[in-house]
Amino acid sequence: MKIVLAGNSVRTGLIKSFFENEGFEVLLAGTPKEAKASSDGYPVIIVGSSVIPGFLIDDGYAQRVIAGLEPKAPAVMLLDRETETPSFIWDLVLKRAVGIAAGKRHVYVLARSVRTEFPGLERSYSKARAHGVTFIKYEKISVVQNDAVSAVMIDDGVMTLEIETPLLVDCAYTEDRSVLEYAEALRLHTYDGGLINADRWFLSPGRTSRRGVYYIDAGLAMSAQLEKILLSIADEIRLMAEMDVGPAAKIDPKKCAFCYTCFRLCPHGALYPDDSAVSMSVRHNYCSGCGICVSACPANAIELTERSEASGKRQTDHSKGTVAFCCENSAAIAARTVLPDNCVNVIPIPCGGSIRASQIAAALREYERVIVAVCNDGACKHFDGNKLASRQVERIREELASINIDPQRIMYIQLSHAMPNVMHNMVDNERNRAL
């Protein structure tokens, strides 16, 4: 099986050897153009070289620093100082904090927010608490450093606190900005600060917005953490080779107006201009079946193939006053905990962004109220699907208001898959309203 390593990191050779030992044939792409040319045929792994504080990844260096301190001197780990600290750095911080605390030294971890998205991170957090690590959330922070002692002033919005420490570890890391050229060439979704792989539940370590394209931060060198990520990527590539692609977009070239709407909106880079320049085409290995392109196409030239029975099929009785179009990745999962004893007809959809104006209009002719339930901000598997749904709902509300129909007949809510209580409350409200 062939894979492509893209980038010019000094660690590329080590990573190449790792995948070769796993049985892969490794091709190298030294430029974004070469990576783009390879991406249609093979999985692509982008290798970056961010700079991570040596104290976090070098056990020997960390132990030497700690050994030189006074026995009772506290240690301070500072996160989120310039930008939000990603979860994989949190993982390193917590493991180092536990190691320091195990030596009977008090450890403070200062951060703007605690991250728990990384696999095993919540357990590491609990373990750190058990070892006496103190976590402090701050709004503002200032540091005065002398030769041997640093004074850290913490403001949490209510009170201020000063900590003096001989060991202040700034856990900020410097991201490899060159990887953004690869992100642009491969049409990858990026987050605030240009991050390719941010902290999202649907992006396991190494994943990007495109199926079959991965990002590795080689700043971790060949640490155990990096090896774990590489093994996960290798397993996923093997699994992908054995699985069917699943639901995917299908374009009718006779209807396609070649307007590039789908090309601009596809969150996974799966749509591109056909070589014959008569219609758009689909890279099926990158299509995630979200249906956003289907909803957005002004010519109705796109449809989803091989949708499962559950997706798009009504699961409750027809005689209800309210219908809810629920994202199958979030709200539909929450809804299952309150079915079948409810008064809301739940229709799973592949993504909130797939909802069409015609679907809502048809539902309004049949139901008193329409609910569009989507993922929370930052949790959409297809990145901006919930925002697209929100805009769709607002447009229809405006049209209803213009013809003197109550726009509140359409409700827009955000639900996580783990929020059945919200769905339950919504069901109760609809039941009471019907009565």
pLDDT in tens, 379-412: 888 988 999 999 999 999 999 999 999 999 999 9
- Domain encompassing residue 212: 2-50+175-242
Q: What is the CATH number of the domain that holds 197?
A: 3.40.50
Q: Give CA–CA dist 121/435, Å, rounded.
A: 46
Kindly state the average pLDDT of the residues 351-380. Answer: 90
Beta bridge partners of 369: 322
From the list 64, 67, 62, 60, the residue with the least C-alpha distance to 77 is: 62
Q: Is residue 200 part of a domain?
A: yes
DSSP class of 277: S
Q: Which two tokens stand for residue 310?
A: 């559950």
Q: Give CA–CA dist 428/435, Å, rounded.
A: 11
From the list 306, 413, 6, the residue with the least C-alpha distance to 180 is: 6
Specify the pTM. 0.72
Are the C-beta atoms of 63 and 156 separated by less than 8 Å? no
Q: Which of 116-130, 334-348, 388-402 has the lowest mean pLDDT?
A: 334-348
Q: Mean pLDDT score of the chain, rounded to an integer?
A: 85
Together in a domain, 371 and 274: no
Looking at the structure of the chain, the number of domains it has is 4
Q: Is residue 331 part of a domain?
A: yes
DSSP characters over 97-155 = HHHHHHTT--EEEEESS----STTHHHHHHHHHHTTPEEEE-SEEEEEE-SS-EEEEEE
What pLDDT does residue 29 have? 93
Helices (H) and strands (E) in the chain, counts: 14, 19
Together in a domain, 60 and 160: yes
Confidence of residue 192 (pLDDT cuts 50, 70, 90): low
From 170, 202, 222, the end of a domain falls on: 170
Q: What is the distance of C-alpha 328 from the center of its chain? A: 16
What residues contact 398, with CB distance under 8 A and at least 6 apart?
Answer: 407
Together in a domain, 163 and 222: no
Together in a domain, 428 and 355: yes
Instruction: Compute the residue count for the chain.
Output: 435
- How many CA atoms within 13 Å lie on the side-chain side of 38? 23
Beta bridge partners of 165: 150
